[in-house]
Amino acid sequence: MTRASWAIVALLFTSCGEASPGGEARPVSEAGSGGPAADRPGSDWPTFLGPTRDNVSAEKGVLTPWPKEGLRKVWDCQLGIGYAPPVVVGGKLFHFDRFGDSCRLTCRDAASGKPAWQFEYPTVYEDFYNYDPGPRACPVVDGDRVYIYGPEGMLHCLRVEDGKEVWKLDTRAKYHFHQNFFGVGSTPVVDGDLLIIAVGGSAKGPRPVDLRDAKPDGTAIVGLDKKTGEVKYAAGNELASYSSPVVRTINGKKTGLYFARGGLIGFDPQTGATGFHFKWRAKTEESVNAANPVVVGDKILLSECYGPGAVLLDVKSGTPKTVWTDDDKDKSDKALMCHWNTPVHHAGFVYGCSGRHDNEADLRCVELATGDVKWKQRRTYRCSLLMTDGHFVSLSEYGELALLKVNPERYEEVSKYSVPDLTYPCWAPPVLSRGLLYVRGKGRLVCLELIARR
């Protein structure tokens, strides 16, 4: 892998916009967002990829087309280092970053960016490939609790009100997982009274020179009592990946899915009982599964960018059966090779960014039932999509925002502009809550008005 090494930057806790006396913050615009974020129509965004964990928002009224100068900036703030997107609940925004030798969760007012509280803990995590050693997984808010899962494997449960610690778990100490290439990067999921996390523990002993020689020990996923942290189950004979667990209803039954390092695990989210295990991974050691599985009825789409590409599975019988596969195709003929971005499904078509490197990535539309590529748009770099109100909001890794119509017939661009405050890498997917769009790049979070307050 090739990427310039980034130095660890120790940033002071910084107010948003222009700092006023006492460390208070004020919006960039005097008008702000038009009032408290919680008073705006729309919905919260409490976890990775939104309330339904598929990067789809039900909000309406997207501004189209955008002004030539781009969307109105409501506020912005400096961040520490990391790749995780923020989450927004009840007018509060939470972001998880690293500052020097500490990982920090910060709570802000979502409409103004004004800081409310912060929680931090010490970390010594270092990345094997000199990538940024900050958090990869975003916070998860559930009721009066917020959960954070750091790159070194520290899991914390905190109070939403003031950031006070409720419980914590050192997953690496308990489950002895070998450090993956980029640290822990899976966002937990809440199901009922359980918090489900990806761990991928392995047999005790030194990390093998080749990680393919590591032996899983049945702790791919762990179910915890979300209120106490008590372990309820550990299951799955797999190592960890960068995909996050999801819970879906398939054939009338609630099913947990985790696209682990070696393939897809289907399990009972309340007991951990494994229903199926479908192997899907590139042969090379330095490959990762990162995109979340896309579930449509009783079909599951997997996609990765290091080797086999995409596959559509039919799990109606309880045993995965291949509907179509990229595994037997040349690289140039593969339908979809998603890197860290999760594709979005709509009306029988899947839209996503395909390609391992920025100079080869394109945006494409694929027919779900057949794997046929309906269209592709080149030179989009690697990008993430958020679907809302008949449109996609696309954020490229270089900070370019685009508004696209959802159209299976052709690439239909409505507006596009480069956000001046964002710099590479913009790898966190965009977040939309109550009309406000939150996007992050290296060291900065920007809040833009996508839907005007009515």
The β-bridge partners of 117 are 107
Are the C-beta atoms of 190 and 140 separated by less than 8 Å?
yes
Distances 319 to 241, 299, 312, 352 between C-alpha atoms, Å: 22, 11, 13, 27
Q: What are phi and psi of 332, to 5 degrees?
A: -70, -15
Q: Give which of 93, 113, 118, 117 is closest to 18, Cα–Cα.
A: 113
Q: What are phi and psi of 248, to 5 degrees?
A: -135, 160
Q: Give which of 307, 323, 404 is closest to 364, Cα–Cα.
A: 404
Count other C-beta atoms under 10 Å from residue 285's C-beta.
12
Rounded Cα–Cα distance for residues 452 and 430 (Å): 18
Give the pLDDT of residue 180: 80
Give the pLDDT of residue 15: 37
Rounded Cα–Cα distance for residues 219 and 389 (Å): 40
Widest Cα–Cα separation across the chain: 64
Q: Kindly provide the b/e burial profile for residues 72-83, where b requires at least 16 CB atoms within 10 angstroms of the residue's own CB.
A: bbbbbbebbbbb
Are the C-beta atoms of 305 and 289 separated by less than 8 Å?
no
Q: How many residues does the chain have?
A: 454
Are the C-beta atoms of 448 and 393 separated by less than 8 Å?
no
What is the pLDDT tens value at each position of the chain, 454 positions in all? 333 333 322 332 333 443 332 223 435 544 455 567 767 888 999 999 999 999 999 999 999 999 999 999 999 999 999 999 999 999 999 999 999 999 999 999 999 999 999 999 999 999 888 889 999 999 999 999 999 999 999 999 999 999 999 999 999 999 988 888 789 999 999 999 999 999 999 888 888 888 888 899 999 999 999 999 999 999 999 999 999 999 999 999 999 999 999 999 999 999 999 999 999 999 998 899 999 999 999 999 999 999 999 999 999 999 999 999 999 999 999 999 999 999 999 999 999 999 999 999 999 999 999 999 999 999 899 999 999 999 999 999 999 999 999 999 999 999 999 999 999 999 999 999 999 999 999 999 999 999 998 7
Rounded Cα–Cα distance for residues 17 and 25 (Å): 7
Give the pLDDT of residue 33: 54
Count other C-beta atoms under 10 Å from residue 301's C-beta.
27
**Tokens encoding 344:** 């979005």
The pTM of this model reads: 0.92
Are the C-beta atoms of 117 and 109 separated by less than 8 Å?
no
Are the C-beta atoms of 405 and 412 separated by less than 8 Å?
yes
Q: Give which of 406, 393, 404, 389 is closest to 448, Cα–Cα.
A: 393
Pick the CATH number of 18-449 from 3.90.1640.30, 1.10.3720.10, 3.90.550.10, 2.130.10.10: 2.130.10.10
Strands 246-250, 231-235: pairing kind: unpaired
Rounded Cα–Cα distance for residues 85 and 82 (Å): 9
DSSP H or E segment with residue 171 = helix 171-175
Give the pLDDT of residue 402: 98
Give the pLDDT of residue 24: 35
Give the pLDDT of residue 25: 40
Q: What are phi and psi of 287, to 5 degrees?
A: -130, 155
Strands of 110-244, DSSP E: 115-122, 140-142, 145-149, 154-159, 165-170, 189-191, 194-198, 221-225, 231-235
